[in-house]
Amino acid sequence: MATRRSTLYLWELAWILPSIALPVGMLAALAVTAFGAGINVTGDAGRVDSTKVAEHPLFKEPGVVETAPGQYEVRLVAQIWAFAPNEIRVPAGSTVHFWATSRDVIHGLLVPRHNINVMLLPGQISHAQARFETPGEYPIICHEYCGIAHHTMAGKIIVEAKR
Ligand code: CUA
């Protein structure tokens, strides 16, 4: 009888320990990605009347602005089916802040492997930032279905080698 009881105890332990370890592990993974790797939900950086985007100080002239040495601001407007600007040039080692919105429907803003993955909602200003260390060409992709020519909606970031 004693043997049977201790076997049951071991079976219980075999179930209880993973059921504690799993949520603790997931919480640790969440903490590491959120605070260590800086992966988090993009906040709402402000509002804009989607019918008056062209009058907003941030989006009057879409483009790239150097705000400090090595710091760039991209003022980006999405509309069917293009990004303005659709070509961004920065030197290697730059930190790029994207301020973006949509003039019409929901678009996406994705720069693969650079922690930029944002929905662009009409009426909302979105902000995301990334550092571009390696020279090369990186795509800017709309990854929210926005109509018949959604698949053509893309741009590029050209990271130039430092002179
Ligand atoms: Cu814009 Cu899909």
d(CA 89, CA 148): 29
Which of ligand 1's atoms lies nearest the C-alpha of 150? 2
Model pLDDT, residue 37: 76
Reduced to 3 states (helix: H, G, I; strand: E, B; else coil), residue 50 is: helix
Nearest CA to ligand 1 atom 1: 107
Q: Are strands 94-102 and 107-111 parallel, antiparallel or unpaired?
A: unpaired
Quick one: which of 12, 34, 32, 14 has its CA closest to 24?
32
Question: pLDDT tens-digit profile of 80-98?
Answer: 999 999 999 999 999 999 9
d(CA 116, CA 14): 41
Question: pLDDT tens-digit profile of 43-84?
Answer: 667 888 888 888 898 899 999 999 999 999 999 999 999 999
Model pLDDT, residue 49: 85
